[in-house]
Amino acid sequence: MSEFFTSVLLKKELCKGCINCIKRCPTQAIRVRDGKAFIIKEFCIDCGECIRICPHHAKVATYDSPDIMKKFEYNVALPAPSLYGQFNNLDDVNIVLTALKKMGFDDVYEVSSAAELVSEMTRKYVAENEDKWPVISTACPTVVRLIQIRFPNLIDHLLPIYAPVDLAAINARNKAMKETNLPSEKIGIIFISPCPAKVTAVKSPIGIKKSEIDGVLAMKEIYPMLLPYMKESVNKVEDLGKSGRIGIGWGSTGGEAGALLTDNYLAADGIENVIRVLEDLEDQKFERLEFVELNACAGGCVGGVLTVENPYLAKVKLKRLRKYLPVACSHLDTEESADAFWTEDVPYEPVFKLGKNMRESINKMAKVEELMHKFPGLDCGSCGAPTCKALAEDIVRGVAKEEDCIHILRDYIHKLSDELSRFDKKK
């Protein structure tokens, strides 16, 4: 990836320059400069924590407007399984799918259906690649990006298979082209997403060359639009659903791993927990584990920043919905599906590196240590960096100065006024 993209936007006029987001960011990617928050793009992993925490709603996610459908002649909606967990008393996903068609989509292709295909492929991959254990799931783009910039030794463990939404996009496009005879560019593949990280994953995909998704809509924006159509659909439900318990289970933590039909897995969610698990995985603290499912959001995809419902309630709703469904409805041998293995290498991107070479880096690190002795160690955030250490690193990187620390500035002013008064007396 040559250019770094982030799906988080700052509404400058709303930003007060407080320290909430810089403190919450798990990769210390945010600084307050000139009184406004600023994201260091190459450090950002699109987890959305800053959007969640900002009390002034100055941080917003980028996503497409439903108007994007007007660009295409034929639109296919790709609903994420977490969408089904947003509604009260929903007992049939077909109601949601029918409503999507009433809303203006020409067809629907459930991401959960592609997820069942990915689960089948994963089962085979895990069984055949014992040397890659524990295999780490790659459905959450935030986790993949995090590993790419911070856990180089784990890159080899990444599951080299398309995320369900990316496979769904290819399959949906092929199906639409076949059914309509339209050229590819006239077909819009529109994902209804629980999180903004997918916006980034579409613009700068990891592991695949190009994403087949044309637009990403926010679940929270589609939700109120869908409700009236759902009421309308109840009386005449189209049978569109093609996923079972496995596919819909992907919407919350444990669903992906549970679909592998082994007990030998670990599933963790919430970005801080994910980082702790990755640290320990890197130290090889887990032996004989086959699979690791990691979700940046608490609760899994139902906890995405663009969802409406409380993630834990959404999880209950998904559970109820799944209860009477068949285990899986989509299978590789019966479904027409594209080959879904990654085609691109995932190189380590050492974005946090201090210097150009080891000698320069050591020098800079020594300077960081030196600065740390000067700073009060309060991690107050007044300088705009999340910790004293982050400020010290910024200084050696040449993007901040010592006097940004208000404690150092205060000492400096004291000294200056002392000298001035001495000068005054001499006179």
Partner 1 sequence: MNEKIVLRYEVDPNDFTRAGEASSNVKRRLKLLGVDPDIVRKVAISLYEGEINMVIHSYGGIIEVIISPEEIEMILTDKGPGIEDIELAMQAGYSTAPDNIRNLGFGAGMGLPNMKKYSDEFNIESTVGVGTTVKMKVFIPKE
Site residues for partner 1 per CB under 8 A: 150, 152-153, 279, 282-284, 348, 350, 352-355, 357-359, 361-363, 365-367, 369, 393
Query: Based on CB atoms, which residue is closest to partner 1, 240 or 365?
Result: 365
Minimum distance from CB of 411 to partner 1 (Å)? 25
Minimum distance from CB of 133 to partner 1 (Å)? 16
Minimum distance from CB of 365 to partner 1 (Å)? 6
Query: Based on CB atoms, which residue is closest to partner 1, 312 or 352?
Result: 352
Q: Kind and range of the H or E element at 136? A: strand 135-136
- For the chain, the straight-line distance linking the first and the last C-alpha, in angstroms and rounded, comes to 64
Are 357 and 120 contacting, i.e. CB atoms less than 8 angstroms apart?
A: no
**Phi, psi (deg, nearest 5) at residue 76:** -115, 125
Are 388 and 376 contacting, i.e. CB atoms less than 8 angstroms apart?
A: yes
Query: Based on CB atoms, which residue is closest to partner 1, 223 or 348?
Result: 348
Query: Based on CB atoms, which residue is closest to partner 1, 31 or 59?
Result: 31
Minimum distance from CB of 5 to partner 1 (Å)? 23
Rounded CA separation 92/106 (Å)? 20
Residue spans of beta strands (DSSP E) within 289-343: 291-295
Query: Based on CB atoms, which residue is closest to partner 1, 316 or 365?
Result: 365
Minimum distance from CB of 152 to partner 1 (Å)? 4
Minimum distance from CB of 352 to partner 1 (Å)? 6
Are 125 and 135 contacting, i.e. CB atoms less than 8 angstroms apart?
A: yes
Minimum distance from CB of 155 to partner 1 (Å)? 8
Query: Based on CB atoms, which residue is closest to partner 1, 154 or 195?
Result: 154
Query: Based on CB atoms, which residue is closest to partner 1, 17 or 152?
Result: 152
Q: What is the DSSP letter of 403?
A: G
Query: Based on CB atoms, which residue is closest to partner 1, 181 or 357?
Result: 357
What burial letters (b/e) apply to 386-420, b meaning 16+ CB within 10 Å? Answer: bbbbbbbbbbbeeebeeebbebbeeeeeeeeeeee
Residue 99: how many other CB atoms lie within 10 Å: 26
**Helix, strand, or coil here: 354?**
coil
Q: From residue 254, how far is each of 173, 257, 258, 267, 421 by CA, in Å?
A: 29, 5, 6, 6, 68
Residue spans of beta strands (DSSP E) within 251-343: 265-269, 291-295
Rounded CA separation 174/172 (Å)? 6
Query: Based on CB atoms, which residue is closest to partner 1, 153 or 417?
Result: 153
Structure-block tokens of residue 397: 């990187």
User: Can the peptide bond before residue 134 be classed as cis, meaning omega within 30 degrees of 0?
Assistant: yes
Q: From residue 373, how far is each of 365, 369, 370, 378, 388 by CA, in Å?
A: 13, 7, 5, 12, 10
**Residue tagged 């009184």 (tokens):** 35
Minimum distance from CB of 248 to partner 1 (Å)? 35
Minimum distance from CB of 359 to partner 1 (Å)? 5
